[in-house]
């Protein structure tokens, strides 16, 4: 199993990193992809991968961190692409829910990162919150860039639009929450070969560990188990398929 999206550089995980990685290993989560949210965090994510063959990272500027970022950050983000540990760009996108940065500024940084992904022929990890129309409109102008909509919690109609564009969908802990039958209907819809699972740790602990304030990669197994149940396949099969999906999407582990 690969936890395809966690934030291991977050202090809550970093301060107990050896234990976090050991618990992941014991749970069968052999590999993890840690995600950077701004240049400083991107550099930290790359440093974290040093000497750890089972880690890779995705570097970019998260929409909710764009208020402290600018287009002047792009040259360094380009330089970071050369590092062996980097497998994709992100997370990037638009967040109209939190409103930490104005929409035009978010969009400029999103477009600049999409252009970088097109240049490096790299996939992107998309964060989109209450902004699906504008997110897809930007992405349409970069037709060659493959993308995963991470931490998907949107509607069936939104999922259909994402799939119609050929993009991927990734599920987190909320898929295990009792009241989220609508989200489980989305799981039913997404073809198993275009689906991934992730924790988004330290956020969004899955049931039955929802009371854990700090989510961690080991707990991705609960999300995977719920997705397997909804799909009507054994967990081992879902593990095998989603691992192969992540390898294919991120180009990690293919020989």
Phi-psi region of 196 (alpha: psi -120 to 50; beta: other; left: phi over 0): beta
Size of the site for Zn ion (CB under 5 A): 1
Residue nearest Zn ion (C-beta atom): 200
Enumerate residues 87-116 that contact Zn ion by CB under 5 A. none
Task: State the minimum distance, in angstroms, from the CB of residue 7 to Zn ion.
Answer: 6
For Zn ion, the closer of residues 9 and 242 by Cβ is 9
Q: Which is nearer to Zn ion, 7 or 122 (CB)?
A: 7
Nearest to Zn ion of 38, 200 (CB atom)? 200
Q: For 78-232, where are the E strands, in sequence order?
A: 86-95, 124-129, 147-149, 168-171, 195-197
Choose the binding region for Zn ion from 131-139, 141-149, 171-179, 194-202 (rule: CB under 5 A): 194-202
Beta carbon of residue 86, minimum distance to Zn ion (angstroms, whole number):
16
Residue whose entry in the numeric block shows the structure tokens 């970022």: 69
List binders of Zn ion among 198-217 (CB under 5 A). 200
Q: Between residues 40 and 185, which has the closer beta carbon with respect to Zn ion?
A: 40
Choose between 136 and 201: whose C-beta lies nearer to Zn ion.
Answer: 201
Query: Residue 11 or residue 164: which is nearer to Zn ion going by CB?
Result: 11
> DSSP readout, 24-71?
HHHHT--EEEEE--SHHHHHHHHHHHTT-TTEEEEE---GGGGGG--G
Q: Among the residues of 81-141, which ranges form H helices?
A: 103-120, 132-140
Q: In angstroms, give the least distance from the CB of 62 to Zn ion.
A: 7
How far apart, in Å, are the Cα atoms of 17 and each of 14, 22, 86?
5, 8, 20
Shortest gap between Cβ of 90 and Zn ion (angstroms)?
9
Q: Closest distance between Zn ion and the C-beta of residue 129, in Å?
A: 11
Contact yes or no for 210/177 (Cβ under 8 A): yes
Tell me the closest approach of the beta carbon of residue 194 to Zn ion, in angstroms: 19
Output the six-digit token pair for 148.
Answer: 């995963």
CB of 255 to Zn ion, least distance (A): 29
Cα angle 58, 172, 94 (rounded to 5 degrees) comes to 55
Show the tokens assigned to 80: 């970071």
Segment contacting Zn ion by CB under 5 A, of 10-18, 93-101, 197-205, 207-215? 197-205
CA angle 159, 162, 167 (to 5 degrees): 125
C-alpha 139/C-alpha 134 separation (Å) is 9
Closest to Zn ion by CB, 41 or 200: 200
Binding site for Zn ion (CB under 5 A): 200
């Amino acid at each position: 199993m690969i936890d395809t999206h966690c934030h291991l550089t977050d202090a809550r995980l970093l301060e107990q990193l050896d234990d976090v990685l050991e618990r992941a290993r014991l749970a069968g989560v052999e590999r993890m992809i840690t995600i950077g949210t701004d240049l400083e965090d991107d550099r930290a994510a790359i440093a974290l991968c040093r000497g750890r063959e089972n880690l890779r990272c995705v570097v970019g500027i998260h929409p909710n961190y764009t208020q402290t970022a600018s287009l002047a950050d792009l040259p360094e983000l380009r330089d970071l692409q050369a590092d062996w540990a980097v497998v994709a760009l992100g997370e990037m996108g638009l967040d109209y829910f939190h409103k930490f940065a104005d929409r035009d500024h978010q969009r400029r940084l999103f477009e600049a990162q999409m252009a970088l992904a097109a240049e490096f022929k790299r996939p992107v990890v998309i964060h989109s919150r209450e902004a699906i129309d504008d997110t897809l409109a930007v992405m349409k102008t970069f037709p060659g860039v493959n993308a995963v909509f991470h931490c998907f919690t949107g509607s069936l109609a939104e999922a259909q639009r994402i799939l119609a564009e050929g993009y991927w969908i990734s599920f987190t802990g909320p898929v295990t929450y009792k009241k989220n039958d609508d989200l489980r209907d989305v799981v039913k819809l997404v073809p198993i070969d275009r689906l991934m699972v992730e924790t988004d740790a330290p956020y969004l602990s899955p049931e039955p560990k929802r009371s854990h304030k700090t989510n961690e990669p080991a707990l991705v197994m609960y999300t995977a188990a719920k997705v397997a149940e909804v799909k009507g396949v054994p967990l081992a099969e879902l593990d095998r398929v989603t691992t192969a999906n992540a390898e294919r999407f991120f180009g990690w582990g293919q020989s």
